[in-house]
Amino acid sequence: MTTPARPTTGDSAPSAAGDAVLRVADMSVAAGEVPLLQDVSFTVGRGERVGLIGESGSGKSLTALAVMGLLGDEVRAGGDVRLAGHDGNLLRAGERSLARLRGREIAMVFQEPMSALNPTMRVGRQVAEVLQVHGTARGRAAQQRAVALLDQVGLPEPGAVARAYPHQLSGGQRQRVVTAIALANDPALLICDEPTTALDVTVQARVLDLIVHGVTQRVRRCCSSPTTWPSWPRCASGCW
């Protein structure tokens, strides 16, 4: 039996009680009669980074997938999950409403970047697609924004990277692309599920720096120019 994962907060901005971007209360996940997660409760405040710590098999990924509404049909989740700006319990939300939130209000960086990317599509198109799907940018503007995002995540020659297929990039480069996709629409909440486990040790620190830097920049932009950002939840983040 594994020890349950537990949340821990980093040295980021403190969360005030009424300032939560995500509230998870008494969440449970079960496969049929077999309980996989029980009584999971935590809050992610605006600008706060929350880490979920636990050994392999303790339920970290299940927690992330349940919040994203990406659990398979064979498992079901109970409890109450609230996202700022969204009415109702996310665990009860329909697929259409979740599809609108995913990639826009909540984004996720998965453990294995190759499986998160479409191997048959150029990287630039994959970044542009998430902008187009959510109406953030269209056509040529979306393509240009995609190259700008690849530049922001520190990829050299972002124009060339945009034309590459995922297999033509290194693991670290692919994780940067996945991070660019996750940050593309300035999500209110960023969920990272062991984003560096599949990477070489030398690349791990750089990718973590990138995620922390990307989130900090967004919080700073949000706070420094409130008139250009629609509402406070847009710039908060969570990470595990």
Ligand X SMILES: Nc1ncnc2c1ncn2[C@@H]1O[C@H](COP(=O)(O)OP(=O)(O)O)[C@@H](O)[C@H]1O
Chain residues that interact with ligand X, rule: CB under 6 A: 5, 31, 36, 54, 56-62, 72, 74-75
Least gap, CB of 56 to ligand X (angstroms):
4
For Mg ion, the binding residue among 15, 61, 185, 237 (CB under 5 A) is: 61
Residue 120 touches which member of ligand X, Mg ion, none, C-beta under 5-8 Å by kind: none
Task: Return the HEC string of 32-46.
Answer: CCEEEEEEEEEEEEC
Between CA 99 and CA 87 the distance in angstroms is 15
- Both structure tokens of 126: 């994959």
Whichever of 49 and 60 has its CB closer to Mg ion, that residue is 60
Least gap, CB of 201 to ligand X (angstroms):
20
Residue 54 touches which member of Mg ion, ligand X, none, C-beta under 5-8 Å by kind: ligand X
Give yes or no for residue 196 binding Mg ion (CB under 5 A).
Answer: no
Least gap, CB of 175 to ligand X (angstroms):
18
Cβ pair 36, 43 in contact under 8 A: no
End-to-end CA distance of the chain: 22
Least gap, CB of 182 to Mg ion (angstroms):
17
Cβ pair 146, 127 in contact under 8 A: yes
Of the candidates 66, 54, 78, which has an alpha carbon nearest to the alpha carbon of residue 1?
Answer: 54
Residue 160 touches which member of ligand X, Mg ion, none, C-beta under 5-8 Å by kind: none
Between CA 183 and CA 204 the distance in angstroms is 18
Residues in the chain: 240
Whichever of 15 and 196 has its CB closer to Mg ion, that residue is 196
Cβ pair 155, 210 in contact under 8 A: no
Between CA 89 and CA 79 the distance in angstroms is 8
Least gap, CB of 31 to ligand X (angstroms):
4
Least gap, CB of 102 to ligand X (angstroms):
19
Q: How far is CA 11 from CA 48, 113, 151, 170, 210, in A?
A: 8, 27, 27, 31, 16
Question: How many residues in the shown chain lie near Mg ion by CB under 5 A?
Answer: 2
Give yes or no for residue 152 binding Mg ion (CB under 5 A).
Answer: no
Residue 35 touches which member of Mg ion, ligand X, none, C-beta under 5-8 Å by kind: none
One-letter amino acid at 240 equals W
One-letter amino acid at 65 equals L
Residue 208 touches which member of ligand X, Mg ion, none, C-beta under 5-8 Å by kind: none
**Binding stretches for Mg ion (CB under 5 A):** 60-61
